[in-house]
A and B are shown apart, each in its own frame.
Chain A
Amino acid sequence: MATAVVDEADKRQSPLSDAVVVRFAGDSGDGMQLTGGQFTLSSALAGNDFATFPDFPAEIRAPQGTLFGVSAFQINFGSSAIDTAGDAPDVLVAMNPAALKTNVPSLKPGGLIIADEGEFNDRNLAKAKYDANPLDDGSLAKWQLLKLNISQLTMDAVKPFGLGNKEALRCKNMWTLGLALWMFDRDRQPLIDWLNGKFAKAPDLAAANIAALNAGHAYGETAELAGPLKQHHVDPAPVAPGLYRTLTGAEGIALGLVAGAQLAKLPMFFGGYPITPASAILHHLSRLKEYDVTTFQAEDEIAAICSAIGASYGGALGVTSSSGPGIALKGEAMGLAIMTELPLVIVNSQRGGPSTGLPTKTEQSDLYQAVYGRNGDSPMPVISARSPGDAFDCAIEAVRIAVQYMTPVMLLTDGYIANAAEPWAVPDLTTYEAFPVEFLTEVPDGGFKPYGRDDKLARPWVKPGTPGLLHRIGGIEKEVDTGHINYAPGNHQAMTDIRKNKIDGIKVPDQIVELGAEGGKLAVVGWGSTFGPIHQAVRRKRAEGLDVSHVHIRHIWPLPANLGELLKSFDKVIVPEMNTGQLKTVLRDQYLVDAKPVNKVSGQPFTIAEIEAAIEEALK
């Protein structure tokens, strides 16, 4: 996303010309995520910019062929900047009737359906609750339909390798990928190399998968397809030279936390508890022990954050991570970290709520929880990542604020960012400024004050084990400077003010305008993963000549100092969010601006068209 160097006023992309949206959909056992992931890599190697959206069921092994067992992977790739995974697919690959039924409604009119007719038998049609075979009854007339017996074609292709029926059919996704590679004029070799590596211990399986891949490719190349199948070349996007890789949000967070700890010159302690969609961060970090990382799978969410605070108390960078329900459980401990003024990073990979909600779907409905969700006056910095690559930088920023201001920091990401992949220009770490932590090791002039303050209002960080600086901390109100227990009215007022002033005083960069002018008719204000659709929609509307700007907020708390003035320089402000209006409320409260909500809580990201419609409505 947004890696392409493009003119801001670039023209609207036309379908199947410089940007294409392809969705692979099948049963959760059909390997659609893997197919999508490999197609993504081939898009990267073709030099396209891209964004992806994996959408999979909450069930681990949903019953085969069912509507709720459908797993899909959407990719938008193009020769100019790609900001989202695309509104509506141009091409839908449906591996069974359930995949067709759940995905075809979003296909663009005139779009192409590639269906494996081998799977459209009575049993599967019944499971997908089709009365008649949609491939034959004309119900798909508004789209182009290509029926192929992919199952049979795959079986034929892998016959020489003597696999059982079940294993042979598992090569279907490679056959499909082969066809897709042909359709978009892609090189097969990287995939062949990858398969050889993946199945190094089972050369037969490697050979069968490669045969299926080649067969799919050859099918496109040689079959006389007078029908809808055409080869289509998408030119490389003009991206800046450099080294690139694909990056998911979970990887971005994990790598950013490691980088942050290194820049702070601290060992990292990560306490986590399994929860969707946050677990991937724990998985990544548990393999990075050589970077002075210790990971701890705690007995529950509360123990996860408490262990991280304990580690911070001991002089490590404590980090914990969860999703909405788990974050709720951590609330009391966050209060303790605020009271004891210890650094801590809390990552919240938001998902649909309330309660268990929609574990595998995305939402931005934890903003209130992040900013306000604790007992007492308990201010805490909140940062939100807009994309997987941005998550890397946000994680570093969260670590910096935590250690420089001795405070817990919440980093918001969401299910969409956590799972989505984008091309990422690998940064040069030497360009990041280090912020090494200095522990207090000796009694300073004027005596040791556990709750004394520096110019940032941060208290000293003292590691247990340090002679001469023995002291006690805890959750009961502290006396100014000494940190002793103190219930006096004036002291509580003073300490509450200090805690507030410390967080209010955190230096965050001034708010910039991502696209458009500072001031004008309309500002579209976003945060987090809505960056892509907002950015593209604003770009398109500006190309049409509308006076609209995109403002994207990274620092949710404290907000940038200039934000109020900036918002007041626009006639109107709309705030698209995947919740019922949480940032909108904060902006109204902080600046008395008439911010209008644009809300979506379907578990799916905004489409560009939805934001475009909201812009048109606002400018009416």
Chain B
Amino acid sequence: MNQVTPITRATTLKDWETDQEVRWCPGCGDYAILKAVQRTMPEIGTAPENTVFISGIGCSSRFPYYMETYGFHTIHGRAPAFATGLKLANPNLDVWIVTGDGDGLSIGGNHTMHLIRRNLDCQIMLFNNEIYGLTKGQYSPTSRVGTTSPSTPYGSVDRPAQPAAFALGAGARFVARGFDVSKELPNVLKAAHAHKGAAFIEIFQNCIVYNKDVFEDFAAPKGAEDRQLWLKHGEPMLYAKGTKGIALDADELHLKTVDVVDGDWEAAGVIVHDVTNRSVAHMLVEMRFGEFPMALGVLYDDPRPTFEADVWRQNAAAREGKTADLQGLLKKGQTWTVTEGGPEL
């Protein structure tokens, strides 16, 4: 199995739905993400039997039960480690990791980091709802300062992690953002799948019970164009119907928003998005919403050799010209033979 051969098959949305009753709260953003994934899979063209969804623990981690594929609902925070073993055992599988802000950045932050730095070929969908849903509403590592919750009745005081910045800092070669009800989400998923290597997707997800509408400030349909910057490779970073853009403040070395007059974005100094520009990616993931629009879409995409391919290559090289003679191996080293006459070398 030295060559990875993509297994493709024509399917429809129905082929990716299981007979299991979906058990998220009515109105949960997870429904929209599930539909987006089920709708995208036929377009990607992979075969369900060759697809594996692996999750940890949390609301998002129920996901595998609802996909008519192979699925493994594992333990809290460890999905990346299971995925690593599985992909090393069979690199032909199309592996998707489903995790959340608690699962993937709190208890499992370590594994997320190492999976990304190793660059295992898989898609990591991190559903960020800035709250612990399944344990009934405690604040999470992405909750904003001051979040009141059962465990922080006076408001949380610790600073939140930024998932996309974390991923890029860990060495990610693909970082994207989307949100649950966005029509663009399937395109983000397709781009992630097309990327060979660890593709990290932060998906903002509305927890309607414990953190309702926490992303409304940028995700609300009304006025969305003023607050969302959808990045496209090779296109200027424009928003607000082309009247505003993102430019580099060359003196202070940071990004700034600029007004674009009469569509002349070049004159305004608006940057053209290059998904392979790592320096700009670092600035994009750090762009604070409010002062800036929310950067969405593919922020960074520049592939490198994948972990499982390198492992298989090294294994193959080490096996080159050798035979697996176990009996011979047992006899290796310092041996002696005992005969009736006594031992000899």
Which residues of A are at the interface with B, using a C-beta cutoff of 8 A?
A: 41, 44-47, 190, 236, 239-246, 255, 258-259, 262, 267, 269, 271, 288-292, 294, 296, 298-300, 302-304, 306-316, 318, 332-333, 335-336, 340, 426-429, 463-476, 484-485
- Contacts A290-B318, A298-B81, A429-B330 given: A464-B336 contact, CB under 8 Å? no
Q: How far is the CA of A429 from the CA of B322 in the complex (A)?
A: 19
Which 5 residue pairs are nearest across A and B when measured between Cβ atoms?
A474-B73, A310-B85, A307-B85, A314-B89, A306-B81
Q: Pick the contact of A243: B65, B322, B331 (CB < 8 A).
A: B331
B90 touches A236 (CB 8 A): no
Q: Is there an interface contact between B82 and A310, defined as CB atoms closer than 8 Å?
A: yes
- B88–A294 touching, CB < 8 Å: yes
B84 close to chain A: CB less than 8 A? yes
Name the distance in Å between B82's Cβ and chain A's nearest Cβ.
Answer: 4
Most buried by B among A296, A465, A469: A465
- Counting CB contacts under 8 A, is B333 at the interface? yes
Given A255-B330, A472-B71, is A464 in contact with B90 using a C-beta cutoff of 8 Å? yes
Q: How far is the CB of B18 from chain A (nearest CB, A)?
A: 8
Residue pairs across A and B with Cβ atoms less than 8 A apart, 30 shown, are A45-B336, A45-B343, A190-B345, A243-B331, A243-B338, A244-B337, A244-B338, A245-B330, A245-B332, A289-B314, A290-B323, A291-B329, A292-B324, A294-B315, A296-B311, A300-B110, A303-B111, A306-B74, A307-B85, A313-B82, A313-B86, A313-B89, A463-B90, A464-B49, A465-B70, A465-B93, A472-B67, A472-B73, A474-B65, A474-B72
Which residues of B lie under 8 Å from residue A289 when comparing CB positions?
314-315, 318-319
Residue contact B71 to A473, C-beta cutoff 8 Å: yes
CA distance A44 to B335 in the complex (A): 9
B-side interface mostly? mixed
A468 and B73 alpha carbons, distance in the complex (Å): 20
> Contacts of A333 on B, CB cut-off 8 Å?
75, 78
Known: A44-B343, A426-B335, A429-B327. A473 touches B73 (CB 8 A): yes
In the assembled complex, which residues on chain A have CB atoms less than 8 Å from the CB atom of B20?
Answer: 484-485
Contacts A242-B337, A427-B330, A473-B73; A318 near B90 (Cβ below 8 A) = no
Question: On chain B, which size bracket covers the interface?
Answer: 35 or more
Please provide the chain B residues from 51 to 82 with a CB less than 8 Å away from any CB of chain A in the complex. Answer: 52, 54, 57, 64-65, 67-75, 78, 80-82
Q: Are A468 and B71 in contact (CB under 8 A)?
A: no
A315-B90 contact given A306-B74, A333-B78, CB 8 Å threshold: yes
Cβ of A36 to closest chain B Cβ, rounded Å: 14
Q: Across the interface, do B90 and A314 meet the contact criterion of CB distance under 8 Å?
A: yes
Q: Is the CB of B82 within 8 A of A315?
A: no
A239 touches B89 (CB 8 A): no
Cα separation A45 to B338 with both chains bound (whole Å): 9
Chain B residues positioned under 8 Å from A41 (CB to CB): 334
Q: Is the CB of A464 within 8 A of B75?
A: no
Query: Which of B49, B54, B68, B88 has the most CB atoms of chain A within a 10 A radius of its CB?
Result: B88
Give the complex CA separation of A312 and B86 in angstroms. 8
Does the CB pair A271–B85 fall under 8 Å? yes
Please tell me which one of the listed residues B69, B89, B335, B345 contacts residue A269 in the complex, with CB atoms under 8 A apart: B89
Is B336 in contact with A465, judged by CB distance below 8 angstroms?
A: no
Would you call A467 and B49 a contact (CB within 8 A)? Answer: yes
Residues on A with C-beta less than 8 A from B114 are 298-299, 303
Q: CA–CA, A471 to B73, complex, Å?
A: 11
Known: A294-B88, A294-B311. 19 other contacts (CB 8 A): A44-B334, A47-B338, A255-B329, A267-B89, A271-B85, A292-B324, A299-B114, A302-B78, A303-B80, A303-B81, A303-B84, A306-B81, A318-B85, A336-B74, A464-B52, A472-B64, A472-B67, A473-B71, A484-B20
